[in-house]
C-alpha cells in the first residue's frame, strides 16, 4: 500500500494499472466476444490512459455495428476518424495486440480497471472536499453533500440485465422474506398490517393531508410502534426536537397538550408524563431536526443507524415541502422531483422504508376528499411513491377520520376508518377497512 502525504496529494500519481488496461484491449482484439463481457463492468471513461479509452470506445462501437474488430480494421477506423496518431500509431497498436497471449482473463482485467477508476474518483472527491473545506464561500453541509454525491458516483455499479434463472431466484427470495415478514415492518395499524403486511423494505410511502389534520401525529405513532423494537430515524423539519418530544410525552401519557402549553398541569398529569418519559427513554427513536435539513443529512444519519447490528426499521420525514433543495435555482417542481428520486434511491440502498409526509395543494379544499392529483407537485411524488395514502377528516373539529390508501404497488386500494382525539393528538382504529373506489 502506498502512503501519500496530505501535502502532495495533488502531485500524487492517480491510482491506475496500465497493464490491466492493455490486457482488456488485447483480449478484445483476440476475441470480439469478450466485448460483451467487459462492457458490463467498465466504460471508456474508466481507463486512465487516454489512448486506451479511445481504443476501447472504437472497439465497442465496431462490435455494436457488427464490424470485425481486428487490428487492420481498427487501424483504418482510427485513421478515418483522425485519431490514429493520438493513440500512438502502429507501434502502440502492436503493443496492445501482444499484451496478452489469450482472452480468458478479460473480465479479471476489466475488474481491476474498474477498481482503479473508482479509486481515482474517490481521490478526486477527497480533494474537492479539502478545497471546499478551505473555501469560506461554501457551507459545510453543501461541501459534505457534494462529497457524498461524488463518493456515491465513484462506487456505483453499471446497470445490467438479469436472466430468467437469476430473476426467479431473486423473486423466490422476496416471497420467502415476505412469508416470514423479515423484510416487512409492521406499522401498528392492525388493518393496514393485515392487508399489506406493513411497510416493505425499500418502499417510499407518502402520507399526505391538509394542514392540521394529523399527518405528523399518525406518522409519530407508527414511528413509536416500530421504535419499540428497531431504530427509527425521524427527520423533524417542521417541529424542533423539543416540540416533538413534548408531543411524544403527551401522546404516551394521554395528557391534553393544551394544558402543557398553558402550564395548567395537575399532579396526576405530571405523574403520567414522568411515567411516560421513563418508558420512552428506552425507545429507539432518533430525531434529526433543528434548522435546515436536506436529503444529504438524512442519508448520512440513516446510513449511520443502518450500520448498527439491529439495522434501521424506518425513516420518517416531516415533511417534503420543507426539505432543503440541492439547487434552489431550479424550478420548484424540478426540486421536488430531485428530492423524491433521491429518497426512493435511499430507501432501496438501505432496504428501509421511508415514510414521507406531504401537504395537499389548494385544489383539495374544493373537493370532498383528497385525490392523487392534490399532492403538491404531484407528478414526481406519485411516480416515485410505492404507496400514497391520505388522512381525511371533514374539518379540524371532526373526530371521524379515514386513512385512504390511494396507491399501492402490491395491494388493493383501501379505506381504514380512524378516530381522532384532538386533546392527545392520537388516532385509534374504528371499524373494518373497506375497498376504495377512486
Cβ proximity of 52 and 124 under 8 Å: no
| C-alpha 272, offset from chain centre | 39
Alpha carbon 391 to chain centroid, angstroms? 25
Q: What residues contact residue 97 under an 8 Å CB cut-off, 6+ apart? A: 26, 29, 71
Residues 6+ apart with CB under 8 A from 424: 250, 251, 254, 255, 256, 257
**Which string of DSSP letters, residue by residue, matches 270-286?**
HHHHHHHHHHHTT--EE
- Tell me the C-alpha distance between 415 and 433, whole Å: 5
Q: Please, which residues have CB within 8 angstroms of residue 298's CB and are 6 or more apart in sequence? A: 233, 235, 288, 315, 317, 323, 343, 346
Please check whether residue 352 is in contact with residue 202, taking contact to mean a CB–CB distance below 8 angstroms: yes
67, 238, 326, 334: the active-site residue = 238
Specify whether 243 is catalytic. no
Q: How far apart are CA 424 and CA 210, in angstroms?
A: 19
Backbone φ/ψ region at 181: left (φ over 0), alpha (ψ -120 to 50), beta: left
Omega cis (within 30) before 377: no
The kind and range of the H/E element at 333 are helix 332-350
Q: How far apart are CA 168 and CA 172, in angstroms?
A: 6
Nearest to 52 by CA among 16, 104, 102, 105: 16
Rounded Cα gap, residues 302 and 231, in angstroms: 10
In contact, 294 and 323? CB cutoff 8 Å? yes
Identify the DSSP state of 309.
T
Number of C-alpha atoms within 13 angstroms, CB side, residue 97?
12
Partner residues linked to 235 by β-bridges:
288, 317
Give the C-alpha separation, 171 to 186, whole Å.
21
CA proximity to 107, closest of 178, 44, 35: 35
Residue 330 Cα distances to 197, 320, 333, 375, angstroms:
39, 17, 8, 20
Whose CA is closest to 143, among 291, 277, 300, 8? 300
Positions marked catalytic: 238
Amino acid at each position: 500500500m502506498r502512503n501519500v502525504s496530505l501535502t502532495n496529494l495533488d502531485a500524487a500519481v492517480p491510482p491506475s494499472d496500465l497493464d490491466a488496461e492493455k490486457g482488456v484491449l488485447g483480449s478484445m482484439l483476440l476475441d470480439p466476444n469478450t466485448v460483451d463481457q467487459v462492457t458490463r463492468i467498465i466504460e471508456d471513461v474508466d481507463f486512465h490512459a487516454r489512448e486506451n479509452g479511445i481504443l476501447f470506445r472504437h472497439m465497442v462501437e465496431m462490435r455494436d455495428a457488427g464490424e470485425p474488430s481486428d487490428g487492420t480494421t481498427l487501424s483504418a477506423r482510427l485513421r478515418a476518424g483522425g485519431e490514429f496518431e493520438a493513440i500512438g500509431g502502429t507501434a502502440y497498436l502492436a503493443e496492445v495486440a501482444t499484451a496478452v497471449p489469450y482472452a480468458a482473463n478479460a473480465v479479471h482485467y476489466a475488474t481491476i480497471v474498474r477498481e482503479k477508476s473508482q479509486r481515482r474518483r474517490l481521490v478526486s472527491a477527497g480533494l474537492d472536499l479539502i478545497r471546499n473545506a478551505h473555501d469560506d464561500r461554501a457551507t459545510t453541509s453543501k461541501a459534505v453533500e457534494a462529497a457524498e454525491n461524488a463518493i456515491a458516483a465513484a462506487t456505483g455499479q453499471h446497470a445490467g440485465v438479469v436472466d430468467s434463472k437469476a430473476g426467479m431466484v431473486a423473486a423466490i427470495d422476496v416471497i420467502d422474506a415476505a412469508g416470514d415478514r423479515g423484510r416487512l415492518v409492521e406499522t401498528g395499524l392492525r388493518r393496514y398490517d393485515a392487508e399489506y403486511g406493513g411497510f416493505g423494505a425499500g418502499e417510499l410511502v407518502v402520507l399526505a393531508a391538509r394542514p392540521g389534520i394529523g399527518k405528523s401525529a399518525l406518522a409519530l405513532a407508527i414511528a413509536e410502534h416500530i421504535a419499540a423494537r428497531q431504530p427509527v430515524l425521524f427527520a423533524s423539519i417542521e417541529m424542533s426536537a423539543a416540540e416533538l418530544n413534548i408531543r411524544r410525552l403527551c401522546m404516551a401519557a394521554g395528557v391534553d397538550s393544551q394544558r402543557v402549553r398553558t402550564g395548567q398541569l395537575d399532579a396526576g398529569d405530571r405523574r403520567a408524563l414522568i411515567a411516560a418519559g421513563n418508558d420512552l427513554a428506552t425507545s429507539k427513536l432518533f430525531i434529526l431536526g433543528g434548522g435546515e435539513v436536506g436529503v444529504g443529512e438524512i442519508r448520512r444519519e440513516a446510513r449511520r443507524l443502518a450500520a448498527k447490528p439491529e439495522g434501521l426499521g424506518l425513516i420518517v420525514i416531516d415533511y417534503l415541502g420543507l426539505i432543503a433543495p440541492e439547487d434552489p435555482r431550479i424550478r420548484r417542481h424540478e426540486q421536488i422531483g430531485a428530492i423524491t428520486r433521491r429518497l426512493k434511491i435511499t430507501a432501496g440502498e438501505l432496504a428501509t422504508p421511508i415514510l414521507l409526509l406531504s401537504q395537499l395543494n389548494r385544489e383539495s379544499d374544493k373537493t370532498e376528499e383528497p385525490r392523487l392529483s392534490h399532492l403538491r407537485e404531484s407528478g414526481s411524488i406519485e411516480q416515485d411513491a410505492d404507496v400514497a395514502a391520505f388522512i381525511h377528516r371533514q374539518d379540524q373539529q371532526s373526530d371521524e377520520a379515514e386513512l385512504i390508501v390511494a396507491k399501492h404497488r402490491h395491494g388493493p386500494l383501501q379505506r381504514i376508518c380512524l378516530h381522532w382525539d384532538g386533546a392527545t393528538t392520537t388516532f385509534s382504529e374504528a371499524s373494518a377497512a373497506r375497498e376504495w373506489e377512486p
